[in-house]
Amino acid sequence: DASVIATNPAAMRGLDGRQFQADLSVISFSADFEGTGSYLGGLGGQIGGGNGGDAGKIAPVPAAYFHVPFGAEDNMHFGISLTAPFGFATEYDRDWVGRYNAVKTELEAVDLGFSFSYDVNPYVSFGGSVFVEHLSIELSNAIDFGTILYTGGAAALGFRPGNADGFSTIKGSNNEIGFTVGALLSPSEDTHFGIAYRSKVEHDISGGDAYFDVPGNAAAVLAQVRPGWFVPTKGSATVTLPETLTFSLTHRINERWTVMGDVSRTAWAPAFDSVTVDFESAQDDTVLEFGYDDSTFASIGADYKLSDAVTLRGGLAYDETPTSYQHRDVRVPDQTRKWLSLGLSWTPNEKTEYNFGYTHLFVNDSRVSTSSATANHIFGGYDVGGDIFAASINYKF
């Protein structure tokens, strides 16, 4: 469908005339933690608080596409796309046991793309797109000022791990440009091979904001122990979203059956190894360690044309996580997933098509063992699950 405008512009050859498509995917995911936490790596007693509630959410993700062919034989194509290719979000109760590691995490990338393709002949097409990507990030967590002052020489004033909690929020956004190039090779009218490359996008975020809520009993002492720290300030960071290479195949067996599959490789390493937040104040940099590895996504599927108006479809996928036990944290307690997808298309007339789909994610349980900046340790496991409901309308004019 018209989503190829963003994923592989060369495949616009398969779109029938001028058309507009609007999509809406509703992602429902859950992340329930069960475990314990300890201060100063186990030397300062157990951290109080609950398990944080369900850190997942229900997130609507829209997309839109426009396509028009042109040229003497309609052998050239222009497309516009608005998509959200990357995003994740978790949010826990503010007083949960892992509050020093994370409370809220939100990353969202939105792309506005402009695509062009050229059909060399009915069997070979090439295409590319340029997109403007808007990235926004928000990170928040509690700060254990009791530990900071206890280890900083203020123990005689009564400071102990956990008795002077504050809060930190960091926000930032940036616009950057990336590109996608692709090819579509068709040895016959029933068989199509696609290859597409999406570039990495390096976001240099400047002018971000950092806010700190410091408890009253710690503010005066911090001014002496850490002068210029934990004050509202601007900051900067570089966040690199990864490049992706995708191979795809579609083959029409007969008038009713079509099979397809694809394999994608996402180069998370070293793009998303770590993110350093550089504060304009006297405060030392904050380094967020992600340690992501490259990951693979592979899927197979089939369409069955039940009638001229109705097509049924289904598919399976393997979606490898870029995280690992050594680096997994509570902000993104991700794990490898298996997808089961079902859907249908309804074409009541020549101009209009409606698509509906449902995907259930079978997610392996994930374990975490990680420490905060003040060496507070959290250990436990997650029960993670997800469902995706999607619908689209395509109108030809």
Q: Residues 70-95: pLDDT tens digits?
A: 998 999 999 999 999 999 999 999 99
42 has pLDDT over 90: no
Strand positions, DSSP E, the chain: 19-38, 57-70, 76-91, 104-121, 124-144, 165-188, 191-198, 201-213, 233-241, 243-252, 257-267, 274-279, 286-289, 295-305, 310-319, 337-346, 352-363, 366-371, 377-396
Which pLDDT value is given to residue 140? Answer: 97
Q: What is the mean pLDDT of residues 206-211?
A: 95
Which pLDDT value is given to residue 43? Answer: 67
What is the percentage of the chain residues whose pLDDT exceeds 90?
A: 92
What is the percentage of the chain residues whose pLDDT exceeds 70?
A: 99
Q: What is the pTM of this model?
A: 0.94
Q: What is the mean pLDDT of residues 63-74?
A: 95
Which pLDDT value is given to residue 192? Answer: 98
Q: What is the mean pLDDT of residues 318-337?
A: 94
* Average predicted confidence (pLDDT) for the chain: 95
Decide if 262 contacts 244 (C-beta within 8 A): no
Between 162 and 42, whose confidence is greater? 162
44 pLDDT tier (thresholds 50, 70, 90): confident
257 pLDDT tier (thresholds 50, 70, 90): very high
27 has pLDDT over 90: yes
